Amino acid sequence: MKYPASSFVEVQGVLVDLAALRGIAHRCDPGRCTATPGCCARYEVCLTRDEVPTLLGLLPAAARLAPWLGPDDALENPLAETDDGQVALDTDEDGRCLLAVADPPGADRCALHAAALAEGLDPLRHKPRACALWPLAETEDGPPALGVFDGAFAFACNTRRPPAARGLDVGIAAIVAGLFGADFLAAVLREL
């Protein structure tokens, strides 16, 4: 995230880039990812140690959609260690997340997301936070800040909103509410 400091306001201890959040519309539609690699094939997704048990708990249900992960009694480990010792989602030889499932005609969807829905669970709470936040991003260092991921507009799921757009796009608002809570979203909307 690279934004002028003047576009940030503090909401419940998080610096929020209001201009960036107001300026993006997001619709996750795997069918639109066929022309270019989707987010499942572009980024290294690191997990916190707290996210690992949640992911592993949903892995048997995800493996039903991604059979290459193996049977319930011998599941493939979808995690890898990065060079700096973090835990990340592993990728195949083409750089696609091992949890990405190809749908005809070649679009990707997340097996974790689909498995959470099938189990009646909130996907935002069962996917790695970095994935659930997409196309939003949080800073990892310094004071917490929320903005839009660099390069987000290169993906068909994200479009620019007109400068005069009011409020937040419904897709962005759902992400903010789902991960930060309804009170946080209400505070952001008041600031807008």
pLDDT digits (tens, 9 = 90+) for 58-94: 999 999 888 888 877 677 788 988 888 889 999 888 8
Instruction: Tell me, yes or no, whether 73 lies in a domain.
Output: yes
Q: Which of 81, 103, 123 is the last residue of a domain?
A: 123
Q: Which residues pair with 142 in a beta bridge?
A: none
Residues 86 and 52 in one domain: yes
Residues 75 and 94 in one domain: yes
146 neighbors 21 (Cβ within 8 angstroms): yes
> Does pTM surpass 0.95?
no
Residues 23 and 49 in one domain: no
Residues 143 and 86 in one domain: no
Instruction: Tell me, yes or no, whether 148 lies in a domain.
Output: yes
Residue 178, amino acid: G
Instruction: Tell me, yes or no, whether 113 lies in a domain.
Output: yes
Residue 94, amino acid: D
Residues 48 and 119 in one domain: yes
Q: Three-state DSSP class for 99?
A: coil
CA 40-37-125 angle, to 5 degrees, is 20
DSSP state of 150: T
> Which of 41-50, 68-77, 176-185 is the most confident on average?
176-185
- Long-range contact pairs involving 3-8 (C-beta distance under 8 Å, separation at least 24): 3/147, 8/145
Confidence band for 3, pLDDT divided at 50, 70 and 90: very low
Taking each helix axis as running N to C, give the angle between helix 182-191 and helix 170-180, from 0 to 180 degrees, rounded to the nearest 10. Answer: 130
Q: Which of 123, 156, 180 is the last residue of a domain?
A: 123
- Average pLDDT of the chain to the nearest whole number: 86
Does pLDDT of 34 surpass 80?
A: no
How many domains, in total, are found in the chain? 2
Could you list the residue range(s) of the whole structural domain that residue 1 is in?
Answer: 1-28+134-192
Residues 53 and 112 in one domain: yes
